[in-house]
Structure 1
Amino acid sequence: MKIEAPSLKDLPGIRHAFFTRRGGVSTGIYASLNGGQGSNDDPANVAENRARMAAALGVAPTHLVACWQVHSPDAVLATAPWSREDAPKADAVATRTPGIAAAVSIADCGPVLFADPEAGVVAAAHAGWKGALGGVVASTVTLMEAQGARRAAIRAAIGPLIRQPSYEVGEDFVARFLEADKAFARFFAPAERAHHALFDLPGFIALRLKEAGVGHVEDLGLDTYPDAERFYSYRRTTHRREPDYGRLIAAIALG
């Protein structure tokens, strides 16, 4: 049902999970632990799945808190739960309130969980290529710092996401990164198809974490695309011409 990062697992008073697609009640293309409120799955199944995730984290179902993700650089602070209808449009959630699980949903983009165990501040960020390039990592760390965290004390774990062998992109995509910094060329490898490249999203996220001064960075090394048994993947769904896809949830909470 869940995967834990060694760097976060034994922190006192902090619980976290990168949930897989196993252990839920959804069926068909959504089987089985689909947490995607934006999917076309039966809402009752999604609610039950999210309740199971909340229970695994020791929080109430209403306290699994995620924003309305828009591939932005923005991070928000959660001091109390909100409904999906009232969720702020952002791509990272931080909290220092016990009993709230900061959560993000993904299906190839990079889930990053953060914790400063000394300050008692945690966060979850949704870092796809657009958010990572735009600054969502830096925004998350800055917000945590405003709540008392120290950058050098923060631990960050990069969860299951699409990895370089599975992430083929075109010339326009590469150009966006090179326009920002020509040194970003190191995150691209040649692809078999002409005028295409393979993008190292986790490597780029790790760079952003180090640039932000995060003291410890862990990459779990898991690729969503080839592992259909454990993970949903937007790109795999697109290649298979399936009508929709489930969403994985990553979350972290203070006990």
Structure 2
Amino acid sequence: MGRSEAAAPAAATAEHSANGAHFAFTDRWGGVSAVPYEELNLGGAVGDEPEAVRTNRARAARALGLDPDRVVWMNQVHGREVAVVDAPWGERPVPEADAVVTTERGLPLAVLTADCTPVLLADPEAGVIAAAHAGRPGMVAGVVPATVAAMTALGADPSRIVARTGPAVCGRCYEVPERMRAEVAEVERAAFAETSWGTPAVDVTAGVHAQLERLGVHDREQSPVCTLESGDHFSYRRDRTTGRLAGYVWLD
């Protein structure tokens, strides 16, 4: 939703596919957090008031027709660990992981980002879904291949997997030192990029899509939004102290 719709319920309309898979990505509007987390911050570890985060998560979930208490979150650490889940965490500690996978229909999975690439995956026929957090370190470490492998182990077929990547910093804006670009490109050539002002850059989303293509995941869509360029989205690289967006995936 845009800034002019800030008073409306949080979270833009989900994509509803005919086969029962649902994908949604939030922007920053429609929540209750104060500056610098204005407004719909969904991250619980960025310094925002816990009650504001709880309210925002409840608003976002209900706007999507979801039960806030059933949404599965992660303790993201820029790695490649994948957690297979069959129920909300409840009172259990949230594990360190950068991907969650489930075969439980009606169990929404969520991923937090503020420049990293949110990756939502679903094989509705097999009843397997996943949400992954692919920043530069995670993309290089192979969190996306690890996630697809975990889905495949549960019966998914890469040729049936539907993939959606959400708002993220683009390759024209993600400036890095030349040495870092070279190190990333050694692992994933598709991530090699240059900024719009002619300096070395990394395109994490391009790297993610190249990995998915090699894995046999061909039904893919990429958000056109660059978080650093968009005032409607949180960007860590632009603002440092800021909120977090969320991507959600679930099956009917």
TM-score using structure 2 length: 0.89
- Is the partner of 1:124 in helix, strand or coil? strand
Match of 2:16 among 2, 9, 23: 9
Q: 1:138 aligned to 2:145?
A: yes
**Structure 1 regions of 5+ residues with no counterpart?**
239-243
Which secondary structure does the structure 2 equivalent of 1:67 belong to?
coil
Deviation (angstroms), 1:163? 0.2
1:198 to 168, 183, 201: 201
CA contact (8 A) 1:100 1:253 kept: yes
Q: 1:134 to 1:11 in 2, by over 3 A?
A: farther
2:202 aligned with 1:159? no
Counterpart of 2:3 in structure 1 is none
The Cα of 1:3 is off from its aligned counterpart by 4.4
Decide whether aligned partners of structure 1 residues 19 and 179 sit closer, same or farther in structure 2, where only a CA change above 3 A counts.
Answer: same
Q: Does 1:129 align with 2:126?
A: no
Correspondence for 1:149 among 156, 160, 180: 156
Conserved 8 A contact 2:33-2:39: yes
Supply the distance in 1 between the matched residues of 2:140 and 2:164 (Cα, whole angstroms). 18
The TM-score, its normalising length taken from structure 1, stands at 0.88
- Going from structure 1 to structure 2, the CA distance change for 1:4 and 1:219 (only over 3 Å counts) comes to farther
SS of the residue 1:53 aligns to: helix
- Matched to 2:223, the amino acid is L
**Of the candidates 82, 95, 107, which is equivalent to residue 88 of structure 1?**
95
Q: How does 1:1-255 map to 2 (within 5 A)?
A: 1-3=10-12, 9-83=16-90, 86-180=93-187, 184=189, 187-189=192-194, 192=197, 196-228=199-231, 230-238=232-240, 244-255=241-252
Letter in 1 for 2:227: T
Percent identity (aligned): 40
Distance 1:84 1:235 in 2: 33
Match of 2:7 in 1: none
Which amino acid is 2:132 matched to?
A
Give the AA of the match of 2:154: Q
Residue of structure 1 in register with 2:5 after alignment? none
Aligned residues: 243
Q: Is the 8 A contact 1:168 1:191 kept in 2?
A: no
The whole-number CA distance in structure 1 between the counterparts of 2:92 and 2:238 is 29
Letter of the 2:184 partner, please give it.
F
* Deviation for aligned residue 1:197: 0.5
Please give the alpha-carbon distance, in whole angstroms, between the structure 1 residues aligned to 2:91 and 2:137.
Answer: 23
Query: Displaced runs of 4+ in structure 1, greater than 3 A?
Result: 1-5, 178-181, 190-193
Q: Deviations over 1:142-198 (max 9, x none)?
A: 1111111111000101110000121111023113124436xx1772226647xx402
80-89 or 124-133, which deviates more: 80-89
Kept in 1, the 8 Å contact 2:82–2:99? The answer is yes
Query: Judging changes above 3 Å, is the alpha-carbon distance between structure 1 residues 93 and 133 closer, same or farther for their aligned structure 2 residues?
Result: same
- Corresponding residue for residue 241 of structure 1: none
Higher mean C-alpha displacement, 139-148 vs 56-65: 56-65
Deviation at 1:46, TM superposition (A): 0.3
CA RMSD of superposed structures (Å): 2.0
